[in-house]
Structure 1
Amino acid sequence: MISIQHLKKAYPNVTPFFDVNVEIEKGEVISIIGPSGTGKSTLLRCLNLLETPTAGEIIVDGETITKKGADISAVRRKMGMVFQSFNLFSHLTVIENIMLGPVDLLKLSRQEAYDEGMRLLATVGLAEKALNYPDELSGGQKQRVAIARALAMKPEIILFDEPTSALDPTMVGEVLAVIRSLAQEGLTMMIVTHEMKFARDVSTRVLYMDEGGIYEDGPPEQIFDAPRRERTRVFVKRLKTFEREIESPTFDFIEVSTGIEEFGRKQLLSLRQINNLQLVFEELCVQTLLGRGGEALPLRFSASVSELDGSCEAAIFYSGPSFDPFTEQANELSVRMVLGLTKEHAWSGDSGNHITLIL
């Protein structure tokens, strides 16, 4: 349905993304997540040409809409967009806001547009507000009207640009409920959102944007439960992270150990958790891995604390040949000490050595 190839958007002082590549099939519900400034909203605005891409191609139903001379109006009729700030006309009633596009652009009669508008208002639970003006509605009601207005244009896909970000928390649920019902009807949607639970529940697919493009792409179960890439994991688990790169056997051990302590205190870890992190670093990194000589260098140690549940992890990435200290000949006493501190542990030899420990 939509093919995005090597898409780039650059402004004079910043480039939100420089190589976005993704295929979107009919009926998919795609949530786009990621840190601020990674171009999530800009990507949606490029899709319906509210922003002109700097480079790359967008192909919709076999037509390259980024080429010179493309029919922008036709593109926008295919893609309804729901903005953060509603963008309703304050001088028109709710039903008049919804009728405007179908009458002017789809050339429906006023009666046809009215009938369809009332049906859509009933769908979003606002039929009784048809003759009200936008200023008489709550934020959640305004956003539901905006959704009905987008649907009135009979789009093939709807783009939602953080549809709940401007709402009071008490109003978020009513908008998300409408979007969930649309998803169940098989409507193709792309949703930029910071509502992680909603993204997990409603999506058939999740795109995590970072480092200038689509950093990770997968079903919600993968992205939220078993992300394959480190930045995704840090983001979805809302991790606060301490990290040090060790490049020499004569590194400053005291600075790293003190850094772990300061990080732990800042994240309100218990003294026991802090001591455990320090012991993992000393026994596994220093005694076991660096004790094998310089082949494990460079070595990276990180400690992470989740803002969601306070869980604490340690991760170690190191160089050299594949070496699993938990099963191969190693400093047995140090390994046993570490295992006594951890709830779970895992080693991976894919793309270098990687140890993960749950404390």
Structure 2
Amino acid sequence: RIVDAGGAEPEPRVIKDFNAADISQLPFGWNLPNWLLRREILARIAAIPNVEFRAGTGTKSLFTRNHEARVTLSDGDQIRAKLVVACDGRSSPMRDAAGIPVKTTRYGQKALAFAVTHPVPHDNVSTEIHRSGGPFTLVPLPDYQGKPSSAVVWMERGPRAEELLAQAPQVFEAEMTRRSCGLFGDLTLASRRSIWPIISQSAARMDGQRLALMAEAAHVVPPIGAQGLNMSLGDLRVLLELAETRPEGLGDAQMLSAYHKARHNEIMLRVKGIDLLNRSSMIEARPLRDLRAFGLNALYSLAPVRKTLMQMGLGVK
């Protein structure tokens, strides 16, 4: 559900539902808490006989040749491999060691992340409310202490976000209820608040010699439309398919070039699209906010466009 609240007061003036039933019998996706994902991933790793997991160990250097890569770890060990998959974050040491340039866009925004309870049920619908500074997004969670609950990502310009973070809980709850347009009743904090800088980032290439970039080492986007994890899973899917198609070519130039070609254009399209959505959500001037509301109405009214946008969000197109 997308709500435009860009009028004189923070109240909904345009509400549009993007319904998964319009394109399939399945929901758009599943919202899983980090602790659950972490538990299941660690359990799966422990069950795979040829995986060695070294918690807390980082990388120090990367040395590559045509036939192999050598990675020196922070504990002093050196690992030889046919393929290094760099999933080491937006400041990726492996990407830097390979000399792959990265383009970073800073918006002067920060995101507050926290959980809330509220009296009005969310009905398993994610709601994104646009006014200025960035979207205010409520993502459905299971009930907490017998009440409906949601995870919230509240994007604002940096100084305003810091000001909100410092507010006493009661003051903050009044502010976030106002920002949510009261759609779910009075919001009550159900977790601590954390704050994160908002950037867009994309690597010039997805590959280097014996190296594949994945997840935030390759691309970072603002938290709009739940695309970050989906894009990372897309990287993983393509890399696995290539490895299974030509196992004898694991990590060679042909495989990695195919990986770059399969992912890079799609990623650039998504990074640019989310950048545009974020900039439109930050708009301060009322006439431009009015134009944004008009654009949302126009896009939603065109059924083929609406369905295409939903399919792109799922990675179908």
Kindly name which structure, 1 or 2, has the bigger radius of gyration based on alpha carbons: 1
Do both proteins adopt the same fold according to a TM-score greater than 0.5, normalized to the shorter chain?
A: no
TM-score, normalised with respect to structure 1: 0.20
TM-score, normalised with respect to structure 2: 0.22
Whose RCO is larger (CA < 8 A, sep 6+)? 2
